[in-house]
Amino acid sequence: MYIALGDLKRKAGSVFQGPITHSISSNRMEKLVITGGQPLRGSLTVAGSKNTALALLTGALMAEGTSTIANVPRVRDVRTLAQIMEFTGAKVDIPDAGPLVVHAERVIFPEAPYELVKKMRASFYMLGALLGRFGTARVSLPGGCAWGPRPVDLHIEGMKAFGAEIDLEQGYVIARAPKGRLPGGSFRLEPSSVGATINLLLAAVRATGPSRIENAASEPDVIVFGEALQQMGAKIAGLGTRTIEIEGVEALHPAAIVNCPDRIELGTFMIAAAIAGPPGGSVRIDNAEHRHLGGAFKDAFARAGIRVDYHDGHIVVHTPEVILPTDIETAIYPGFPTDLQAQWSVLMARAAGTSRVTDTIYIDRFNHIPELQRMGLRARVEGNAVRIEGGQQLTGAQVMSSDLRASVSLVLAGLIARGETHVLRVYHLDRGYENLEAKLRAAGVAIYREQYDEFAMPEPPEG
């Protein structure tokens, strides 16, 4: 069935009203213009976790009733998921401030359409949520991603192991529990996957029997999500370990859920502070849950010679005189997060020597490197790694965002570049960073947002 965008808007209702900064029919886009060289002053405040919020939102669909979720960032991905949830008949209120309210009494249409799912991979969580609650779901496959294949085979095989019958039809996954509810089962994730662990938890919490997820993800996002399901009455053991066991229950009840701070935004701000903090001074970062960073990231900071004071709820990053070249390799939690490797490359641009950034989770996540090279970065992509020669002065340029973390790395580079940096296609950044430019502006950075025409040609010089 083809669904026109107009129909989607009518079905999705209020949440479709979010800021729309680009459209296919128009060439108007937004960019960030940053004048580099001013040190950060004062403090930065981290928003609620984007990735955990997405899981919590679908979790709220599991209970017939009204749940609230506090500390949710007002970012585009949250609005996209809210639209998808409203498509099923649920209602998601996103006030300007305060908790989101999810009304999940009336969920009547267990479907997630391609037009919305293609915008964001996490919308595939709808498969577990709808199958778990209704025993039936029709969810579009998400399709490709900016940096190569990101399969969902483990989600699907896991659902099958839990007793689902699955068919693929015209790009959609059609899933059914033969007797109305899944019986539950056992599945081993190889490799470990954050998204598949979350999706399988959603599918299993209302199954008729027990389930087990082996080699489960132990990222904080999964723990906070699992704890929210427990708060709603789910029986889950082993959160934070490699084996999660679930005893299905008849029904979940609504709850007042609190999201955690965003660990990737925290790491991003730590790098901003290290490269652009006031000489001889420090930058404070508030709403910081440093335990969620994982040991490898903190260790890499220490090896780079950057002093950080870790406190409950806030941290202080002391501006280093010299940044030491420091190799990192991404890995599952508590390893170095793949979502911070692009930002780490900008930190290493400032280092006194050569370093290597290796991504073992997404082997070709290096779209930011050619853009940073346009700003003068000396770097070379070698397989799933990039070798960075630190110590060169970056210069401002027009650079293109290609995904969320790539785009924030360009903003970081803009903070330390000589002159103006124009970060184009900023809608990528808006998917996951709430009010980034307002936060940076309040900390003394000359940064503003401007509209531009993607297809405009420069005027030829006179004469």
Q: Mind telling me the catalytic residues?
A: 145
Cα gap 184→131, rounded to integer Å: 12
| CA–CA gap between residue 136 and residue 444 (Å, rounded) | 52
Q: Please name the amino acid found at residue 309.
A: D
Nearest residue to the partner ligand EPU, using Cβ:
195
> Residue 138: helix, strand or coil by DSSP?
strand
Residue among 121 and 181 whose Cβ is closer to ligand EPU: 121
**Residue ranges in 201-220 that form contacts with ligand EPU under rule CB under 6 A:** none
Contacts of 172 (CB under 8 A, 6+ apart): 114, 138, 139, 140, 141
- Tell me how far, at minimum, the Cβ of 446 lies from ligand EPU, in Å: 26
Q: How far, rounded to the nearest angstrom, does the alpha carbon of residue 244 sit from its chain's CA centroid?
A: 23
> Which parts of 232-362 fold into alpha helices (H)?
263-276, 295-303, 341-349
Query: Which range binds ligand EPU by CB under 6 A, 153-161, 268-276, 313-321, 344-352?
Result: 153-161
- Smallest gap, in angstroms, from Cβ of residue 152 to ligand EPU? 5
Taking CB under 6 A as the rule, does residue 250 contact ligand EPU? Answer: no
Binder among 193, 215, 268, 358 for ligand EPU (CB under 6 A): 193
Among 32, 34, 54, 347, binds ligand EPU (CB under 6 A): 54
Residues 311-330, one symbol each (x = binds ligand EPU by CB under 6 A, - = not), give --------------------
Does 141 help bind ligand EPU (rule: CB under 6 A)?
Answer: no
Residues 369-428 close enough to bind ligand EPU by CB under 6 A = 404-405
Q: How far is the CB of 75 from ligand EPU (least distance, A)?
A: 10
Q: Does 194 bind ligand EPU (CB under 6 A)?
A: yes
Shortest distance in whole angstroms from residue 128 CB to ligand EPU: 12
Number of residues that bind ligand EPU (CB under 6 A): 23
Q: Is 154 in the site for ligand EPU (CB under 6 A)?
A: yes
Q: Phi/psi at 110 (nearest 5 deg)?
A: -80, 70
- Residue window 279-318: x/- pattern of binding to ligand EPU, with contact defined by CB under 6 A: ----------------------------------------
Between 150 and 378, CB nearer to ligand EPU: 150
Nearer to ligand EPU, 130 or 406 (CB): 406
Q: Tell me which of 45, 51, 259, 367 binds ligand EPU, using CB under 6 A.
A: 51
Nearer to ligand EPU, 319 or 358 (CB): 358
* DSSP state for residue 325 in the 8-state scheme: P
Angle, CA of 178, 182 and 183, to the nearest 5°: 100
Query: How far apart, in whole angstroms, are the C-alpha atoms of residue 259 and residue 161?
Result: 30
Binding ligand EPU (rule: CB under 6 A), the pick from 180, 191, 281, 313 is 191
Residues 6+ apart with CB under 8 A from 17: none
Q: For residue 265, which of 429, 442, 396 has the smallest C-alpha distance? A: 429
Q: In angstroms, rounded to a whole number, what is the distance separating the alpha carbons of residues 423 and 321?
A: 28
CA 429, CA 409: separation in Å to the nearest integer? 10
Contact 59, 129 (CB under 8 A): yes
Q: Is 62 in the site for ligand EPU (CB under 6 A)?
A: no
Q: Which stretch binds ligand EPU (CB under 6 A): 97-105, 146-154, 235-243, 319-327?
A: 146-154
Among 102, 228, 288, 361, binds ligand EPU (CB under 6 A): 361
Could you give the CA distance from residue 174 to residue 130 in angstroms, rounded to a whole number?
A: 11
The answer to whether 60 and 99 have CB atoms below 8 angstroms apart is no
Residues 6+ positions from 213 with CB-CB distance below 8 Å: 158, 187, 188, 189, 197, 200, 201, 204, 243, 244, 246
Residue 144 sits in the site that holds ligand EPU (CB under 6 A): no
Using CB under 6 A, pick the residue from 338, 345, 409, 421 that binds ligand EPU.
338
Binding site for ligand EPU (CB under 6 A): 51, 54, 121-122, 150-155, 191, 193-196, 221, 338-339, 361-362, 404-405, 432
